[in-house]
Structure formats: C-alpha cells, structure tokens
Amino acid sequence: MAHSELPTMKPFRATHIWCNIIVALQSEVEVKRRRHHLKHHDDCFLGSDAVDLILSHLLQNRYFGEAEISRPKVVRLCQALMDNKVFEAVGTKLFGKDKESTFEDSSCSLYRFTTMHRWIDVVNEYQAPSPGLNGLRRRQGRVNFSTNRHDSSLEELLSNLSLKPVTSSLNETSQLSQTVVDEIWQEQTILRLLQLIELPILDSLLDRKEHQPKPRNVSTNTDVIANNLLDREILKAFGDSQNDDWLSSAIDLLEFLPDRMVVEISRNLPESSSDTDQCNRLLFDAIAKHYNQTKDPLLTNDYFDIHTGVAELLVNGKFEPALEATQLCLKLLDSRNRDELRRLLHFMAVTAQPTSVALQKGVANRILMKRTFGKAIVFNKNLPKGKADLLVLFLLDHQKDVFKVPGSLHKMVSEKLMLIQSGGDPDSSTGHTYCERLTHAACESNMRKTTRDELLLLLKTIDENPKLPPKEKKKVLAQFNKSHPAIFIQYFFNALRQS
C-alpha cells in the first residue's frame, strides 16, 4: 500500500523544476549589502549573477534534455520568478510605487528575495523530510493543493520557451563538493580560452590562488580605527543624501582606498552640500591619485597572454570572440580584484557619459578616463601601449557585459559535471581535442621515427652544403657513418636510386 502511493508523491514536472530553481538561487547566489544610485541596500544580488546561476543550474541538471538554453530564455524565467514575487527589484520604487517591473540581465540591477511569494510553502514542503506514511500522505495533499493552481502557468511558460521537461532527467544526482565544482569551472574556463586565443604557458593559470584581502591599516590604536570607520560612514551618509549617480559610484569606490585618503576626503568636504562641483573634483583627484600610485594592475600580469590575445582579436576586428575571452579572463580573476574592477569601470563609465561635467578642458572625459586609470587596469612593459589603450577602452565601453559568464562555458561545465556524476572518466575529452593519449609503444615508435627523420635531414644538410670544404665534408661524413651507419646507408642508397 505504501509503495503504491510513493510514485504519486512527486510534484508535477514544472513544479519540480520551479522549486529546484528557487532553492538553487536562494542557496547559491551571492547576497550582500550593495549600493544602488542613492543609497545602500542590504541582502541584494545582481541580475546578471541570477542569470548565470540559473543557466548553470538548468544546464547541469538537464531538465530539458538536449534543448538549447540561451540567456534570453533564462531572463524570461527570471521575469516569471519576479512576477511570482520570489524576489523583487531594489531601488525601483517611486513615491512608494513600483516604477518598473522588468527583469534586467545586468550587473547594475539589484534584487532581493521576499518571503511573500505564493511558492514559498511549496518549496518548504518540497525540501522538508517526511517522518512516515502518514506524513507522506499529509505532504502529498498539501503539495498537490498548492501546485494544482500554478503548475499549468509554468508549463505554459516552458512551452513558450520551446523547453519540454524530460522526466528521466529529474532524478536526484549525487552532489559534488564545492572544491571539485570550482576546479571544473577553472579547468573548463581555461579550455574554452584555448579555443579562442593562443596560450603558450599555462603555469600561472593552473597555479592560481585566491589572494587574501590586504588590510588598509596596521594601526592598533582603537581610536584611530574608530575615527576611520566614522569617516567612511560620514561619506556614505553624504552620498545617500545626494541625487547624483556620479557621486554614488565614486563613494562606492572609496572602499578600496586607504583610510588616510578617506579621512582626508571626509575632512575636506564642502560645507555646502550644493557645491557639487567642488565635491566631485575632490573625489576625482583622490581616486586618480590612488590609482596612479597603484603598482599592480587589477588585470594581473598572471594573465598577460590572455590580455595579448584579446588585444590581438580587437585589432583584427573580432569583437565577439574578444568579449567572450574577456569574460573568461574575468571569471578567473581574483574575487577582490574582480569587485574592485567592476566598481572602477562603473565609475569610469558614468564619468565618460556626454552629460557629465568636463573634468579637463579640451579633453573628452572618455579619453581622460583611459589616461588616468589605464595603467591601474592593465599594464605590462611587453604589451604595446596602443593595444593596452584599446583593451581599456573596450572594457570601458562594455562594462555591463564583461562580467557575465558566457553560455559556452556554462555548457562545458554542465557536460563535465554530468559526466562525473554519472560515473564517467573525468579525464575523457567531451569537446575540443588538443592532443590524444598514446600507448607506450606508440610513443616509442614516434620517438624513433622523429629521431630518424631529423638525422636524415642533418645528413642531407652536410652533404649538400656548398660552403663546406671537400676534405672537411669527408671527415664529417665519416664521423656520421661511424655513429649512425644505418641512417648513412639509407640516405645514400635513396640518393643513388633517385639519380
């Protein structure tokens, strides 16, 4: 009796996918305090991060078999999640009312989870363990009651996206540790980069380690530390009180400046909050001074070969491969550098807008941004200045897209994870092949053939060298015959036959 009821316990196909997406998003997306326009917001995540995570989740679990899943389709799924109040947009209310309700796949759009959506009970029931048969029956009744009303709407959405759930793929798979998953992401990122650009040396990529954040101060004086924190809070409050995108992006960047400079800015703020030009100049000069003193570029020289390859793609007008290679490079970047680079590029993009106040007479703000912050972003004495400038301007113009994770990488990671979870050989190739595995006998055979061919080429060079005196040539050929008689006989036998 109990066994006959167990198969009916599972929710409908669409609800199963819906619940898994919500659980994955809530448990894995990066939620933290973020700044948006006028003020800071707690417990927020980025729209682009939500798309990246859901796309990776769908590809990894293969709910739809081999169906193609693109970012626009995932954006529509995110829109459905927002329409159903799973999460809400942050900073879009005007006079207490929603100003917009469109989900944006952007690193500038913020969202926050809400507990007021109608699926929260379904997800909780889906995750909760049941103690026995009576519990199973009670859970079955509640889940079916909740999902009967809404499952058809999600089924309709999946149908409109040309996605049909595959029943056989809904079985739970074994969970991999986060360390293994991270290693697969790194491995597949490098493999995809190898398909786009030439990387002669991989040591710096394979040995990559997460850098520990550097403390801004080493002072043990509690009064000094308290004052530093107070000055930062003063600047944040000042930014919250101003309706200025430029000011907001500049104050966001102060997190990465040393305390001494932040204190100096705080103490020199204009007395009148209406004197925005003086305040903007003060902030810009401090930020420019800091990044002009920075020794290590944010795009570290561990990735110099990638920077060179991307610059070469840009020179040849191959913008799409250049964008994907840049996205892959930033995926490998240290998390602190990545966050700082995101904020710096956003500040540069806001400043470079035509409507922004000119900071230097006779020089466009966009060019000024490149000159001022170029070396802080990418710098290497072996990278020509023209290519470095081209790369900086490319990052500036595409700052909203370069931090997204390309769909090709999602697919590669998904296939590798599925292979491992199904018990396959993790070293087997599932995509582009760079080399093939040889047996010991085949390796020995190739080595002998290569050695023989090179010796024949050397002997031919000696024999046909017109600058070598006859007496010297005879002596060298005798030495060669003594060391490699078989090669010597083969060469002159073949030469005799050809003549």
Q: Is residue 422 part of a domain?
A: no
Instruction: Indicate whether 75 and 158 sit together in one domain.
Output: yes
Alpha-carbon distance values, 97 to 101, 112, 385, 467 (Å)? 11, 16, 50, 90
Residue in 125, 127, 150 with CA at minimum distance from that of residue 140: 125
Amino acid identity at 304 = F
Instruction: Please answer whether residues 343 and 256 qualify as being in contact, where contact means their C-beta atoms are separated by less than 8 angstroms.
Output: yes
Same domain, 235 and 315: no
Asked if residue 420 is part of any domain, the answer here is no
Largest CA distance in the chain: 103
Reported confidence tier of residue 370, pLDDT bands at 50, 70, 90: very high
For residue 186 the two structure tokens come to: 């790194």
What gap in Å lies between CA 380 and CA 374, rounded to an integer? Answer: 11
Q: Cβ neighbours of residue 17 under 8 Å, at least 6 residues apart? A: 63, 154, 158, 165, 170
Is 105 within the bounds of a domain?
Answer: yes
Residue 293's pLDDT band (cuts 50, 70, 90): confident
In a domain, 432, yes or no: no
Q: How many Cβ atoms are within 10 Å of 159's Cβ, its own excluded?
A: 11
- Domains in the chain, number: 4
Residue found by looking up tokens 């990671």 in the block: 413
Average pLDDT over residues 396-410: 87
Q: Which residues contact 256 (CB under 8 A, 6 or more apart)?
A: 290, 340, 343
Q: Is residue 414 part of a domain?
A: no
Q: What is the mean pLDDT of residues 112-118?
A: 69
| Whether the Cβ atoms of residue 394 and residue 378 lie closer than 8 Å to each other | no
**What three-state secondary structure class fits 349?**
helix
* Lowest mean pLDDT segment, chosen from 219-223, 291-295, 432-436, 455-459: 219-223
Q: Could you tell me the residue range of the domain that residue 196 belongs to?
A: 181-208+295-407
313 with 360, same domain? Answer: yes
Q: Are residues 148 and 9 in the same domain?
A: yes
**Mean of pLDDT values over 398-413:** 85
Task: Kindly report, residue by residue over 138-195, the tens digit of the pLDDT.
Answer: 444 343 434 444 555 666 666 666 666 655 444 444 566 778 878 888 888 888 888 8
- Assess whether 201 and 344 both reside in one domain: yes
**304 neighbors 269 (Cβ within 8 angstroms):** no
Give yes or no: residues 382 and 240 share one domain. no
Strand partners, 41: 34
| CA-wise closest residue to 71 among 404, 305, 495 | 404
Band (pLDDT 50/70/90 cuts) for residue 2 is very low
Q: Residue 214: pLDDT band by 50, 70, 90 thresholds?
A: very low
| Residues 211-228, mean pLDDT to the nearest whole number | 47
Residues 131 and 72 in one domain: yes
Distance CA 178, CA 98 (A): 38
360 domain-assigned: yes
C-alpha to C-alpha distance for 457 and 476, rounded to whole angstroms: 15
Same domain (yes/no): 166, 277 = no
Per-residue model confidence (pLDDT) at position 230 = 66
Pick from 348, 382, 407: which residue ends a domain? 407
Average pLDDT, the chain: 76
Identity of the amino acid at 95: F
pLDDT at position 3 is 41
Q: Which residue is associated with the tokens 């009064």?
A: 223
pLDDT of 323 above 90: yes
- 446 part of a folded domain: yes
- Show the tokens assigned to 380: 């290497």
Residues 272 and 372 in one domain: no
**In this structure, are 377 and 282 located in the same domain?**
no
Return the structure tokens found at 149: 């009303």
Which of these, 491, 309, 285, lies nearest to 390 by C-alpha position? 309
The pLDDT value recorded for residue 36 is 67
Q: Would you mind telling me the total number of residues written for the chain in this entry? A: 499
Are 46 and 120 contained in the same domain? yes
Cα 424 to Cα 420: distance, rounded to the nearest angstrom:
5
Bridge-based pairing of strands 39-46 and 93-94 is unpaired
- How many alpha carbons lie under 13 Å from residue 448 in its C-beta half-sphere? 8
**Is 109 within a domain?**
yes
Q: Are 136 and 9 in contact (CB under 8 A)?
A: yes
- Burial of residue 370 (number of CB atoms within 10 Å: 0-12, 13-18, 19+): buried
Angle at 56 between CA 344 and CA 318, to 5 degrees: 55
Pick from 25-39, 63-77, 391-405, 435-449 the range whose average pLDDT is largest.
391-405
Q: Which of 407, 431, 465 is the last residue of a domain?
A: 407
49 in the same domain as 143: yes
314, amino acid identity: L
